[in-house]
Amino acid sequence: MKKHVFQLNEISRKRTRHIIGLMSGTSLDGLDVALCAFTGSGQQTRVKVLHFETMPYEEEFKDEIRRIFAQKQIDFQHLVLLNAPIAERHADLANQCLAKWKIKPEEVDLLASHGQTVFHAPRVFHGLPNYPNATLQIGDGDHLAVRTGIITVSDFRQKHIAAGGEGAPLALYGDYFLFSKKGEDRYLLNIGGIANFTYLPANQDATHAFATDTGPGNTLLDAFARELFGVPYDEDARLASNGRVDERLLEILKSEPFLPNRSLKPSARNFFHLHGSRRRLRNFRRAIPILMM
């Protein structure tokens, strides 16, 4: 224990820290692995991306996660059993990246892992007055640390919930320190599995900055790509580029009560899904026939 305390003290005194970040989003495309150099702190924080790689998941691995992903009824044993294998898979992918970049694990100060979100349930969605906001990410940090040999920090969302938030602290925190600019209002849009944006005020008052989900992103698009075209996702938007906007269908979709209701935004993945989208399209005569099946 003493050795590790000394190691943490040494890291805290460094002018530049090299940190690997791991992110697996709700679209389940794969694991993003970024090695970054951090200097400074607070509004003086500076980040330089040294290496970045997206390591794709095998379809079998995705299917294992989908069995428990954003579903109220699951095989609980399967959820528990997946906790370690997901971490081990992430560790292996991180190790592969380090080998490719010719970097030794001991040259990395920390590994930061978001984990794999399997269910997100803010109070505004579950509606149970006696229960708080809740979220669950799996991919155990201890397994990551042992398999990579790098000090690991993980499970970031729980402290945000404990402090009264909805469990999505990282986008706002990082965006504020890295991208704020005095005298300029900024909006940062991320279209991941769920789309979200961050507002950064020109006065740099942190109490005025905020981030929120805006609705479904690639999760729903990928589901339709699998069902309609037999592909995991619309690579380079080739399918979408060959289509055209149907204004009548667009108006039907824009009439969804989700859109003007800000309180539903954090639960977009639970609100929008393939079966629900089929139901929404049944009243549209010219919808693609397969959607009505």
Amino acid letter, residue 30: G
Residues 219 and 226: their CA atoms lie apart, in Å, by 11
Q: What is the pLDDT of residue 184?
A: 95
* DSSP string covering 155-189: -THHHHHHTTS-S--HHHHHHHHHH-BTTB-EEEE
pTM of the full structure: 0.75
Q: What is the pLDDT of residue 280?
A: 53
Per CATH, the homologous superfamily of domain 2-167 is: ATPase, nucleotide binding domain (3.30.420.40)
Q: Which of 75, 99, 225, 84 is nearest to 147 (CA)?
A: 84
Residues 68 and 166: their CA atoms lie apart, in Å, by 21
Q: What is the pLDDT of residue 43?
A: 78
Instruction: List where CATH 3.30.420.40 sits in the chain.
Output: 2-167
Q: What is the pLDDT of residue 279?
A: 57
Q: What is the pLDDT of residue 266?
A: 47
Residues 30 and 61: their CA atoms lie apart, in Å, by 10
Structure tokens at 230: 């037999």
* pLDDT tens, per residue, the chain with 293 residues: 678 788 888 988 899 999 999 999 777 889 999 999 999 887 788 899 999 999 999 989 999 999 998 888 999 999 999 999 999 999 999 999 999 999 999 999 999 999 999 998 888 778 898 998 899 999 999 999 999 999 999 988 888 888 887 776 677 888 888 888 999 999 999 887 778 889 999 999 988 998 877 777 887 788 778 878 888 888 888 998 988 888 887 787 777 666 655 544 444 444 455 555 555 555 554 444 434 33
Q: Residues 6 or more apart from 83 whose CB is under 8 A from it?
A: 138, 139, 140
Taking each continuous run of H as one helix and of E as one strand, the counts in the chain are 12, 9
Q: What is the rounded (10 degree) CA torsion for 198, 204, 205, 211? A: 0
Q: What is the pLDDT of residue 112?
A: 96
Contact status, residue 89 vs residue 96, Cβ threshold 8 Å? no
Q: Residues 6 or more apart from 224 whose CB is under 8 A from it?
A: 274, 277
| Residues in the chain, total | 293
